[in-house]
Homo-oligomer: A and B are copies of this chain.
Amino acid sequence: MRSRFQQGLDELRARLLRMGGLAEQAVDRACQAYIDSDLTRCHLVLEGESLINATEREIDELAFDLLAMQQPMAVDLRFILAVTKINSDLERVGDQAVNIAERVMDMVELPKAELPVDIPRMAAAVAAMVKRSLESFIEGKAELAMAVLEMDNVVDRMKDEAFITLVKTMNEHPERTRQALDALLVARNLERVADHATNIAEDVIFWVRGADVRHNAAKEFVPTPQELTDTH
């Protein structure tokens, strides 16, 4: 039978997965809203933010209570700390989805403009990164997480290209400036979602591989395991 503490860890994992699902859904909705100029989906994203925020706090509280419950083993401690960090990143993914939805709401008010930017392609790449980072967490696989880190460069390049072509559009077609700016900001928001997926992947690696990926600069203070058992 699993201990109460182990059940708590299972619950923590389950809640983080729900949080991941909410964040993923928010990004998907915001991107689909962009593609279809769909105000309904924008409103869904905006309305969904409070649930994401509430879920973040619940997860933090549960992590806190688990840490307070007993002296966790190193692997469980790493897991709990990774969850709190992933949790923050997922909340911020939700914030980015809100930002995208707000840009779409601005765009919908404006005359439709042809823009030389493939936001749907960028959105698909970013959504894949988020999905993959959550899979790496579910499966506890550092290799999956490593793949996410590589994808980040691709998204960065897409954002840089979008930046260049959209500034050109603004120069050549001043009447499309605001639409181009909205698209540019959406591209930046997507890049930030990709950054959060990268952070999540790094936290999974920290959790799975443990101290071996962490550098040792802080060690001068830290007592040895021997000292730990001696001094308390």
Listed in ascending order, the chain A residues whose CB lies under 8 Å from chain B are 3-5, 8, 11, 54, 57-65, 67-72, 74, 77-78, 81, 84-85, 88, 167, 170-171, 174-175, 177-178, 181, 184-185, 188, 214-215, 217-219, 221-223, 227-228, 231-232
Please, which residues of chain B bring their CB within 8 A of the CB of A185? 188
In the bound assembly, the distance between CA atoms of A221 and B58 in angstroms comes to 10
One of B54, B170, B222 near A174 (C-beta < 8 A)? B170
16 inter-chain pairs at a CB distance below 8 angstroms, sorted by A residue, are A57-B215, A60-B81, A61-B218, A61-B219, A62-B218, A67-B67, A68-B228, A70-B71, A85-B88, A88-B88, A167-B178, A170-B170, A170-B178, A171-B174, A171-B178, A177-B177
A61 touches B3 (CB 8 A): no
A77 and B64 contacting across the interface, CB-CB below 8 Å: yes
Q: A67-B77, A69-B232, A232-B5 are in contact. Are A214 and B57 (CB under 8 A)?
A: yes
Other 8 A-B pairs with CB < 8 A, given A54-B217, A71-B71, A84-B85: A8-B221, A59-B218, A64-B81, A68-B74, A170-B170, A171-B175, A181-B181, A181-B184
Residues from chain B with a CB closer than 8 A to the CB of A62 are 218, 221-222
In the assembled complex, the Cα of A227 lies from the Cα of B57 at a distance in Å of: 22
Quick one: given A167-B181, A177-B167, A177-B171, are A69 and B214 in contact (CB under 8 Å)? Answer: no
User: Considering only CB atoms, which chain B residue lies closest to A7 in the complex?
Assistant: B221
Return the 10 tightest CB-CB contacts between A and B, nearest first: A58-B218, A61-B218, A174-B174, A4-B231, A170-B177, A65-B222, A70-B232, A71-B71, A62-B218, A58-B217
For the complex, give the distance between the alpha carbons of A84 and B221 in Å. 17
